[in-house]
Chain A
């Protein structure tokens, strides 16, 4: 057989094999969690408060804590992140300042989360006297998500063809109308991807959350109260050997909640931008 054709066959095989591995790992991880955790889920598990440090009862306060934390940090980080990205792409000229800002956001995205946690602890919890609270945790996570959201939004906005902008300008639209009605809706899928990545980061964090939001097992009624997220609960249940069954149950709910929040973020952004 022709050498080129053999190469082609090998390449196709390798590509297929890689997809198979990825798919298998994903199914294995999720399958494992669901297999061990689904049995734990019941109405009581979802809606009751934990008893005996989580050995008994449910995880309701941690579900509330997680959603609370994610929603508030998104409320802080999404507008700032998306508007920054608009400014960086549409209103600045290429030059050293833009390069510096871009380098800074890229570096920020790579900083380990515990460093944000330490900053949040000393700045929000102690210096601003916000204490261990949903607000301190949300601010810290918002800072952490910001670079991810800015970068993803920037890429998405940059990939909107200039032909759309010129077409809009030529109809007499102002720059802001063009951005709001043509550029942002077109860039939306990319922006949402960035937000979902940010959510993933926020939901999964443990150490910075413990440092800034505490690990109280009560339902947080206001943003000034401490709370525990599902990830933190899971971490404590497993690392302190409290209950592996409950840990798997929590993990299962966590996966479902993440998927739900992703759908919600998608829906809300669409509603907000395409009016």
Chain B
């Protein structure tokens, strides 16, 4: 499949276009969980300050791919990654990379909101604190800026000392986004951030994600085709660990090149 894609002149042009502003690039990326071959030769280029959606049926490797980008797979027993991931041209697997600095630069929002069992303030201040910021004034500023950035400030400014677990699901997820923003990442990975939320909360998070595009590079896994269509600039379609198709979202949704992509997008399987 890969070979065929590269022979296509149209795609070659697009790849060249993409390369001008590439934030993340993967080369022959493979991932294994024990016997399971979860990612097969993934070659993707993700553009700066764009939203890239990863779509595909459950278990196709989207989340695994996401976790290779901040090396969160390091913690999973039996997980193995081969190939290369370049972020701003730095190979995060081969060169002597400081994983802590990497994860500061590449933030992640999880499927289920996972605020820590502490106050709203401490949740946001957690990241800056572990990276060495102790000054109370500075922390106050960061908390306010991050909560504003995640469109949560107005709702919680009077109860920053309350437990984060008392917030609604949608608020918790925005808190988790604010927590990521507080460490000033350049890339934000989102693993189905709306799948546990009601439609209204989902809409708010989508609006937020579109705003974030100005300052961050966003990679979002979603099961929701409409969502991918609404918010993303680029889309990658994963199937059984392979990238079947990758390109501009509008192009892919209106004019899929691969039959399997078309079947998936139109809801014939998955």
Give me 7 other A-B pairs in contact (C-beta within 8 A), A171-B180, A172-B100 excluded.
A163-B110, A167-B116, A167-B176, A168-B130, A172-B130, A177-B130, A185-B118
For residue A186, which residue of chain B has the nearest CB?
A: B117
A-B interface, 10 closest residue pairs, ranked by CB to CB distance from nearest: A163-B114, A172-B104, A170-B108, A172-B103, A171-B127, A167-B114, A172-B100, A173-B130, A177-B130, A186-B117
The residue in B104, B110, B116, B179 that gathers the most chain A C-beta atoms within 10 A of its C-beta is B116
* Chain B contacts with A in 61-102, Cβ cutoff 8 A: 70, 72, 75, 77, 100-102
Q: Is the CB of B126 within 8 A of A181?
A: yes
Task: Please indicate the chain A residues that have their CB under 8 angstroms from the CB of B70 in the complex.
Answer: 170
Residues from chain A with a CB closer than 8 A to the CB of B116 are 164, 167-168, 182, 186
Tell me whether B107 is interfacial, beta carbon within 8 Å. yes
Query: Quick one: CB contact mask for B111-122 with A, threshold 8 Å, 1 for yes?
Result: 010101110000
Q: How far is the CA of A163 from the CA of B72 in the complex (A)?
A: 12
CA of A186 to CA of B116, assembled, Å:
9
- Given the interface contacts A161-B114, A163-B112, A163-B114, does A168 sit within 8 Å of B126 by beta carbon? yes
Q: Give the chain A neighbours of B117 by CB distance below 8 A.
A: 164, 185-186
User: Residues of A at under 8 Å CB distance from B?
Assistant: 93, 161, 163-174, 177, 181-182, 185-186
Whether A166 contacts B118 in the complex (CB less than 8 A), given A93-B77, A171-B130, A174-B100, comes out as no
Pairwise interchain contact B130-A170, C-beta atoms closer than 8 A: no
Check B183 for interface membership: any CB of A closer than 8 A.
yes
Tell me whether B27 is interfacial, beta carbon within 8 Å.
no
Of the candidates A165, A168, A170, A177, the one having the most CB atoms from chain B within 10 angstroms of its own CB is: A170
Bin chain B's interface residue count: 20 to 34
Query: Mostly helix, strand, loop or mixed at chain A's interface?
Result: helix
A selection of 28 A-B contacts at a CB cut-off of 8 Å is: A164-B117, A166-B72, A166-B114, A167-B110, A167-B176, A168-B126, A168-B130, A169-B72, A169-B75, A170-B70, A171-B103, A171-B104, A171-B107, A171-B126, A172-B100, A172-B101, A172-B103, A172-B183, A173-B100, A173-B126, A173-B127, A173-B130, A177-B130, A181-B126, A181-B130, A182-B126, A185-B118, A186-B117
Instruction: Report Cα–Cα, A186/B107, bound state, in Å.
Output: 23
Contact A170–B118 (Cβ < 8 Å): no
- What residue in chain A is nearest B75 (Cβ atoms)? A169
Say whether B131 faces chain A, with CB atoms less than 8 Å apart. Answer: yes
Determine which of A171, A174, A185 lies in contact with B179 in the assembled complex, contact meaning CB atoms within 8 Å.
Answer: A171
Cα distance, A161 to B165, chains bound together (Å): 14
Instruction: Select one of B110, B112, B131 contacting A172, CB under 8 A.
Output: B131
**What chain B residues lie within 8 Å of A185 (beta carbons)?**
117-118
Nearest chain B residue, comparing its CB with the CB of A163:
B114
Q: CA separation between A90 and B179, bound complex, in Å?
A: 24
- Are A166 and B183 closer than 8 Å at their CB atoms? no
B67 CB, min distance to chain A CBs, angstroms: 9
CB distance from A16 to the nearest CB of B (A): 32
Q: Is the pair A164, B114 in contact by a Cβ cutoff of 8 Å?
A: yes
CA of A164 to CA of B164, assembled, Å:
13
Minimum CB–CB distance from B191 to chain A (whole Å) comes to 10
**A55 CA to B117 CA, complexed, in Å:** 53
> Taking the nearest CB of chain B, how far is it from the CB of A179, in angstroms?
12
Q: How far apart are A178's CB and chain B's nearest CB, in angstroms?
A: 9
